[in-house]
Chain A
Amino acid sequence: DTGVSQDPRHKITKRGQNVTFRCDPISEHNRLYWYRQTLGQGPEFLTYFQNEAQLEKSRLLSDRFSAERPKGSFSTLEIQRTEQGDSAMYLCASSLSGRDTQYFGPGTRLTVL
């Protein structure tokens, strides 16, 4: 069991640029979640997938954000036209449906200059 992995671990970008993050869940897990964590706060839910279907999106997920999980395995989160307010840690987690425990990756820390 290799755990949840995320890439890159750190990303620095200029305002207005697009960025894409990748998450590889635990291999047999069919549920995948994205959360955002800002400094001094707990993680906040962004979106979740069951297999390849995106079943829920938080209102935090503006139309500049898009997430995919094309084959029900890895997922990508893209932010278009980044803003300084997008600076945060983006966390990915996975689980089996019907199980309440989520396992988190190390996160991608985004800094928008």
Chain B
Amino acid sequence: GNSVTQMEGPVTLSEEAFLTINCTYTATGYPSLFWYVQYPGEGLQLLLKATKADDKGSNKGFEATYRKETTSFHLEKGSVQVSDSAVYFCALSAYYGNNRLAFGKGNQVVVIP
């Protein structure tokens, strides 16, 4: 079945540091890939998405590229801010059927001033 794997553990970094969160997936067909962000006490917000191989999703300085050859969709940001502290979830949606989302476990990102 479809599944998503995110790197283990929280990520703590200083303001203006470079952020990378790894995400790999297993899926049949050609899924769409997403990054969602969850701020404390809130629901999930769509951060960015990509729908086919080599597409790059970007938003608010975050980027991720759909790599079919490595089945990956790593999230990057060149210079993080304290306001980027949140939990980040990688997810995929099947190409067919009900488009239900399969999520990774999420990564807590803490940015220190």
Contact = CB atoms under 8 A, between A and B. Distances in A.
Contacts, number: 60
Q: Is the interface of B mostly helix, strand, loop or mixed?
A: strand
B99 A45 contact: no
A91 to B, nearest CB: 6
A44 B93 contact: no
Q: How large is the interface on A (under 10, 10 to 19, 20 to 34, 35 or more residues)?
A: 20 to 34
B51 A100 contact: yes
Interface string A22-59: 00000000010101000011111100101000011000
Interface residues of B, number: 23
7 contacts: A31-B99, A33-B101, A45-B101, A100-B93, A102-B101, A104-B36, A104-B45
Interface of A: 4, 6, 31, 33, 35, 40-45, 48, 50, 55-56, 91, 93, 95, 99-107
